[in-house]
Amino acid sequence: MRKDTFILLSVVLLGIFFTARADAFCVQTEKANVRSGPGTAYGIVWEVYRYMPFKKVGTSLANDWYAVKDVDGDVNWVHKGLVTEAYSCAVVKAEEVNVRTGPGTRYALAGLSSAKKYHSFRVLDRKGSWVKLQDEERNTGWVHMNYLWIH
């Protein structure tokens, strides 16, 4: 392999490595359309709500859309203006979970008592394997981390 070809290949691979760097994002708007490609011309795959977490796996050439991985491992696209890195978020990955008033099963069920799969939250605190969460209506409660996908 020629030296200049090797250098070009190295630069391209290095660029892919840095572009594919994983970062955590949360939806910061009331709703966000997750699309099949980087632009509004692409179809809507999923409509998600505030606090839905994503893992960034790439960016568009114009750097205005992020390729993101969701709780199911699917990769789609979201506009950068709809997400934030300012706080951590979680989404329920089990069919349904109990939401408790404190970090443990000895605590009573919280006001929202349970949350179904894909319910998203803002992470407020952690104690051991329990996570204190807040939903869009500002209700709070604790859920065991085994039932959450946190980013």
What are the structural domains of the chain? 3-84 (2.30.30.40), 89-150 (2.30.30.40)
Q: In this predicted model, what pLDDT tens digit does every residue of 82-133 receive, in sequence order?
A: 999 999 999 999 999 999 999 999 999 998 889 999 999 999 999 999 999 9
Task: Find the Cα–Cα–Cα–Cα dihedral 85, 89, 95, 98, rounded to 10°.
Answer: 180
Q: Which residue has the tokens 């085994």?
A: 146
Which one-letter DSSP state was computed for residue 10? H
Distance CA 114, CA 45 (A): 26
pLDDT, position 111? 83
Distance CA 105, CA 130 (A): 10
Does residue 62 surpass a pLDDT of 60? yes
Three-state SS letters, 87-123:
CCEEEECCCEEEEECCCCCCCCEEEEEEEECCCEEEE
Please provide residue 48's backbone torsions phi and psi, each rounded to the nearest 5 degrees.
-120, 165
Q: In this predicted model, what pLDDT tens digit does every residue of 14-56 receive, in sequence order?
A: 333 333 335 899 999 999 999 999 999 999 999 999 999 999 9
The count of other CB atoms within 10 Å of the CB of residue 72 is: 11
